[in-house]
Chains A and B, each alone.
Chain A
Amino acid sequence: MPRSHIGARRLLQGVARTLAGALVLGLATLSVTSPARAADAIRVGEINSYTRLPAFTEPYRLGWTLALEEINAAGGVLGRPLEVIDRDDAGKPGEAVTAANELLMREDVDLLMGTFFSHVGLAVSDFARQRQVLFVAAEPLTDALIWSRGNAYTFRLRPSTGMQARMLAEEAAKLDAVRWASVAPNYEYGTSAVATFREALSALRPDVEWVDEQWPPQGKIDAGATAQALAQAEPDALFNATFGPDLAKFVREGTTRGLFEGRAVVSLITGEPEYLAPLGAEAPEGWIVTGYPWDTVDTPENRAFVAAYQARFDDYPRMGSVVGYAAMKSVAAIIEKAGSTDTDAMIAAAKGVMVDTPFGRITYRAADHQSTMGAFVGRTAVRDGRGTMVDFVYRDGAEVLPPEDEARAFRPE
């Protein structure tokens, strides 16, 4: 596991320093020295929920590691090697801020990247604004990060909940279904997914009506009761935003109880290998989903990425791998274009920067700092005893984002 550059000596120094600093104070003077570091490396501070959400963040770590090795093998950035110092935030915003503080003040990083949960991403983005440091948010899906609470220092890679829900709504509008019901985890991600999907679908199909909505607590779905309640409302189609263990439970109960028989299901992020693979042969068939069919996307970019990833790690890439890889490449592209690691220069460079990713070339929009990375929209199927996506198309993020001048108005500045 690549845990960068913390030798035993540095560690002991760190322990001694912090203990002394906090406990015995005056004595701290003696042990304070500046950390040893690779000469002239550009330092990137990376924060993610490694212990809280390893199913996503472990592949994510492998993804950025691969990118980092590629970048450094090609001579680094601006002639200097790139170095990553990574920290775990345990899924808690408070700890993410502590980690960001450490990275900035102790490790002297030039910029921050990472985070998974929306609220952790928001906490770090506000920290970045306060401390005037660039933050490349990798995964947090909330629209607030770039719009209502956007700031000059924060850029975001992934297509948001809203963007993915709009992609799905366009597919959903082609169905005959009129009566719809939704099930989504009861927090911001679920709420905004359902709200955006409903709004977008109603705009395209004014005749649809919503007959039920279920809001199980994240991670604690009472799947049997929820599935039964949805069936009772007799919808023509379902919109689902649950994922992870909740999804597995819901799929099992729903399948056994016949909830999905004769009903269309539109489901957010279910096509991502993180969530589809564990279902194995029990993966639902024919659901309209967003995701990443890593083995069947036949573009040169993806083939090269998959080959390099499998050669390096002896495992197949997940969505997290792509996010980690693309986030690292974004950081390199921004610094390369800026020509320095000065924060203002990097922010100026990040606006409109082009980055080559496994999904093709993306750009970070100048108006709202959102990248145009998209997602694959297709239908789930079971092939050789495991879930995959078929009949998919790549939807560019730019197609589902509002025009730049409209988006600019969403931001507080």
Chain B
Amino acid sequence: MDFLVIQALTGLASASSLFLVASGLTLIFGVTRIVNFAHGSLFMLGAYGAWTFTSGLGWAAHAGPLGFWGGVLLSALAVAALGALVEVVLLRRIYQAPALFPLLATFGLALMIEDLVRLVWGPEDLLGPRAPGLEGAVTILGQKLPAYDLALIALGPMVLAGLWWVLHRTHWGVLVRAATQDRAMVGALGVDQSRLFTGVFALGAFLAALGGAVQVPREAVHHALDMQVIVEAFVIVVVGGLGNVVGAFLAAVLVAELNAFGILLFPRIGLVLLFLVMAVVLVLRPHGLLGRPEGETRAAVPPTAGCWRPAGATGWAVGLALAGLLALLPLVADAYVVSVAAEILIFALFAASLHLMMGVGGMVSFGHAAWFGLGAYGAALAALGLGAPMAVGLVAGPLLAVAGATVAGWFCVRLSGVFLAMLTLAFAQIAWSVVFQWHEVTGGDNGLLGIWPDRWASDPAAFYWVSLAVCGVAIALLRSIVFSPFGYALRACRDSVARAEAIGIDRVRVQWLGFVMAGGFAGLAGALYAYLKGSVFPEAMAIPVSIDGLVMVLLGGLTTLVGPVVGAVAYKTLAIVVSSWTDHWPLVLGGLIVLLVIAAPDGLAGLARRVARAASRGAGPGGREPAS
């Protein structure tokens, strides 16, 4: 019994840490609808800042509790200022862009910060001081509990109360809550949205940094903290209900306590628990614990983007000519370029399949890597288990992906917006943890080796031609799906659920089918990837692959059909070239992405279109014209 009490208190301390990060994220998301991928980076900067102010500089180490807490506060304030700067300089420029675009900007920022941190603070883990006066343990019911845990347990509710007071008892807070509910109305009533957004972003950054700073007495500060925190924080935000601070607190307590007690029964549960909780909560409560159904908000794709036109004879001719030209590559380029080109083609197909879901179906996915990875494992298992030739593997991969997407899709299409996206992430992580743990079948994290193409296709040029044929046909198929009756139905569900259902479209069935198709094509890309690399690891279905897919689609332009392919080619080429050139590739790549975001808020394809139009007809405001 005594032990259970202590374990519960330990869980509460972890909950406070989780809540501090998530509260800032939920505020920012609630008001600005920005998916702030750099939130974990702000957390990390807060931790590094606190380390510097409390021990790195040396002076505060002798100043006792005042020095310590002063350092924590100073660090949080510094990061808040940085947050305000980021909002003014970067994010403000892209509020008119499609809703997910800031994700791309903050992704670039997160890459840069990770590298800058390494440059400024060095590669070694840094262990900060313990909190003065709270170094020891308090004995409760005969068991020892760190005194600092008690301080954290108090800090969580204190911050919650403070936020509640600000949101409910100040004029500014009323505006924030109003903006959370209906931004357009707040703007119409004459409130300066820019200042409101800057303030909210700064407050969110402050809370993130505070969360990082108070972790200094508990853990070493290192350059991978950002990625560790960002996913957890998102899960808490969504489980609690978007924009709901109290919900975030409840979600943090739920997750932390389940973990504290879960590991007693299932010591390996920590890997997947967070995502299991999210999946269960979202299936039972589609808007999170305390979330409410939202009114119509900005769709991921502006409705005007729907005016896509079929390619027509000229379009197909251009496509075929391009394919023909691509087929000549091995004649002019060396083997390395050819194998890189094969990889780019594979990711072009992956991005195009994600676009079928996001751009055409209006269903954002944060877990598209699941189907890519299942495709890779399907092919690998067929090759190793059955000794199947490559042609069979290229069928087995997509089949496994389709099977997985059928199950996950059934649940996911019952949700919408970010909730749907987060449920895809939950399924992807659950699938990942199964693959990671199931040593007998998948080889666990040591993966499956020796999945090389058949002899006839083992030459880089031959494999490139196979990839070109498969990806070319698949991308053409994806395109014709968009203009099939099914494609029109899918787009109708994206643009207006009410009207689509009114004319007799079975939304759930149509979106489910769209989900499964997207999964199948991603699986095909994954199967090719397995043969390209010769081995498959759980990485193939991990979060970074999902993020890469999102980055490609957004970079190319969500509102166009060629965008994802352009984005995949540009991003993958840049990533490979820059990382072979410098070890500071995250800084360079992140910087390039940020620049591109500012220069082309409608994506590369949109930028190209604007440039072309400006060249032919003189300058004009662009970006919202029907795309092809």
Contact = CB atoms under 8 A, between A and B. Distances in A.
Interface of A: 1, 3, 6, 11, 14-15, 17-19, 21-23, 25-26, 28-29, 32, 50-52, 54-55, 57-58, 87-88, 90, 92-95, 97-99, 101-102, 105-106, 118-119, 122-123, 126-127, 129-130, 142, 144, 149, 186-188, 191, 212-217, 219-226, 228-229, 232, 244-245, 248-249, 252-253, 256-258, 274, 277-280, 282
Given A188-B446, A214-B263, A51 B537 contact: no
A258 B144 contact: yes
B534 interface: yes
A100 B373 CA distance: 22
Contacts of B220: 244-245, 248-249, 278
Contacts of B135: 256
Contacts of A87: 579-580
Contacts of B124: 55, 274, 277-278
A118 B446 contact: yes
B264 A229 contact: yes
B334 A106 contact: yes
Interface in B433-450: 436, 444-447, 449-450
A20 to B, nearest CB: 9
B182 interface: no
Given A25-B328, A28-B337, A225 B7 contact: yes
27 contacts: A14-B581, A17-B333, A21-B341, A26-B325, A26-B328, A28-B329, A51-B115, A51-B583, A92-B544, A93-B533, A102-B340, A105-B335, A105-B336, A122-B446, A122-B449, A123-B535, A127-B534, A129-B450, A215-B268, A215-B270, A216-B263, A219-B228, A220-B270, A223-B219, A224-B13, A248-B125, A256-B136
A258 B137 contact: yes
Nearest to A182: B267
Which secondary structure characterizes the binding site on chain B? helix
A17 B337 contact: yes
Contacts of B335: 105
A126 B326 CA distance: 29
B227 to A, nearest CB: 9
A90 B260 contact: no
Interface string B183-222: 0000000000000000000000000000000000111101
Which of B11, B436, B581: most chain A CB closer than 10 A?
A: B581
B569 interface: yes
Contacts of A15: 577, 581
A253 B10 CA distance: 11
B446 A142 contact: yes
Contact of A228 (B10, B217, B579): B10
Given A28-B337, A93-B539, A105-B334, A22 B573 contact: yes
Given A55-B124, A98-B340, A28 B219 contact: no
B68 to A, nearest CB: 16
Nearest to A21: B337
A32 B334 contact: yes
The 9 closest A-B pairs by CB, nearest first: A54-B123, A248-B220, A105-B336, A21-B337, A225-B260, A224-B10, A126-B449, A106-B336, A256-B146
B539 A92 contact: yes
Interface string B565-601: 0000100010011011111011000000000000000
Nearest to A127: B534
A374 B321 CA distance: 60
Given A102-B580, A118-B446, A280-B127, 13 more contacts: A18-B340, A26-B325, A54-B118, A97-B535, A122-B449, A187-B444, A215-B270, A216-B263, A225-B7, A229-B7, A245-B224, A252-B130, A278-B126
B272 to A, nearest CB: 9
A389 B47 CA distance: 30
A32 B325 CA distance: 17
A258 B6 CA distance: 14
B87 interface: no
B474 interface: no
Interface string B115-147: 100100001111100100001110000011110
Contacts of B264: 229, 232
Which secondary structure characterizes the binding site on chain A? helix
Given A54-B223, A97-B533, A228-B3, A119 B127 contact: no
B575 to A, nearest CB: 9
B576 A256 contact: no
B180 interface: no
B290 interface: no
B271 interface: yes
Chain B: interface size category:
35 or more
A144 B535 contact: no
Interface string B503-542: 0000000000000000000000000010001110101100
Contacts of A214: 263, 267
A106 B336 CA distance: 6
Contact of A216 (B137, B270, B449, B452): B270
Contacts of A98: 339-340, 343, 576
B89 interface: no
Which of B217, B222, B529, B583: most chain A CB closer than 10 A?
A: B583
A89 B573 CA distance: 16
B533 A123 contact: yes
Contacts of A215: 267-268, 270
A58 B118 CA distance: 11
A55 B220 CA distance: 13
A19 B10 contact: no
Contact of B3 (A101, A232, A249): A232
Contact of B333 (A28, A54, A102, A253): A28
A253 B436 CA distance: 28
Contacts of B452: 130
B576 A21 contact: no
B445 A187 contact: yes
Nearest to A189: B445
Contacts of B450: 126, 129
Contacts of B13: 224
